[in-house]
Amino acid sequence: MNFIIFCCGLNLYCIPGSKRFCFLNPANVRMRFTIALLFCLFCCTSCHVGRFFIYNFADIKDYRKFPSHPVARDGVAFHFTPADNRRGDSSVVRLPREITIKDKPYSFEQYLERTKTVAFLVIRNDSLYYEKYFHKYNQNSIVPSFSAAKSFVSALVGIAIGEGYIKGVDQPITDYFPELDKAQFGKITIENLLDMQSGIAFNESYFNPFGDVAKYYYGTNLKKYVSHIKVKEPPGQHFEYTSLNTQLLGMIVSRATGKTLAAYLQEKIWQPLQMESDASWSIDSRKGQTEKAFCCLNAIARDYAKFGRLYLNGGSWNGRQVVPAEWVRRSVTFDRPKNGGIYSYQWWHNRGKEEQPPDFMAVGLLGQYTYVHPQSGLIIVRLGKQEGKHTDWKRMFLAIAEAQG
């Protein structure tokens, strides 16, 4: 009997009765792996497993690897006011002078560079107090948001509800996905997706080339993948962070508005916020034309900071209500005791003290952060090649904010 190995649609056979050439012979494990890998890499670059090995782990140059939809800026850009951080008054932003790692002291900038930071911005009251770039990056360098894009998707959902394209967060997702079985998916609401409580099965492992997140990131047909999803438990029972939830939200926005996610972002956020640079949103393929909503908005550091400013001001931009105020409030406060106070509506939270406005942040793989501290009026953007060893960015951001008095 022939045994068959499938690698991205290619069949590799054993020769019956041959130990030397049998691909499944335990004695040939190394050869088996090598042959499978070579076939995946060189014979099937269009399959997500092959692309996973070719591109290796995600990095901040990935926006160059995938096709994308443009997000254009428009008109005169808004600029944060450059600030002199050397004054001795209370308006100065206080930053750590020295950080110790394993009993060895580093200056703040040495620490940033050592942790593979490429951009670090600190803004308070619309003044840019600190802006440094490292590793040949500068203020015009594009950096993928990775999962920080999820917070942008949430804003677009809120806007679409405000404009009447979407009825509300209690609407079942099957209204927008007729390809999904109502008996299984009919009880899952948009809010379940927003709060990562959908109960839909999804493997979020970033190191597994055969996992779901690798397929969605490197694959070329998101609509097809979504049509095959399955439910593992009733919605609303447990918090489970999965990128599938945001992908579904992005597709709901697109199907409800009749516009690509990138076009809706451009119209409703990018141009109203007077962004400094054009951006892009990576798509699954030129044929598929579906944005990877869960990960792949690509922009410069200052424009990420402007999104933080939008939420710091309750969704208002220079007198214009861009995101409904109630939507912003529900996204960043704790009047809904869900998810242990750490996550709501595609935003992460640092603390759950109900007696004061909590800080909140958009967070992406490899340490992409847009952090907002309402009490101090502080916005911090950190972008990096990796999270960095011996780091706790959330704790550092909060310490910087609380040091401002």
pLDDT by residue (tens digit) across 198-230?
999 999 987 777 789 999 999 999 999 999 999
| Structure-block tokens of residue 81 | 């006011």
* pLDDT tens by residue, 145-176: 999 999 999 999 999 999 999 999 999 999 99
With a pLDDT cut of 70, the percent of the chain lying above it is 81
What does the pLDDT read at residue 55?
54
Query: Which sequence spans correspond to the domains of the chain?
Result: 4-44, 62-80+133-402
pLDDT computed for residue 118 by the predictor: 98
Q: Which residues of the chain have pLDDT under 50?
A: 1-27, 40-45, 50, 52-53, 88-89
Q: Specify which residues 282 forms β-bridges with.
A: 68
DSSP state of 268: I
- Would you say 43 and 49 are in contact if contact means Cβ atoms under 8 Å apart? no
Q: How far apart are CA 393 and CA 147, in angstroms?
A: 16
172 secondary structure, DSSP code: B
| Confidence at residue 390, expressed as pLDDT on a 0 to 100 scale | 86
Q: Are 118 and 133 in contact (CB under 8 A)?
A: yes
62-80+133-402 CATH choice from 3.40.710.10, 3.40.50.11060, 3.30.43.10, 3.40.50.300: 3.40.710.10
The pLDDT score that the predictor gives to residue 337 is 62
Identify whether the C-beta of residue 152 lies closer than 8 Å to the C-beta of residue 265.
Answer: yes
Mean pLDDT computed over every residue of the chain: 86
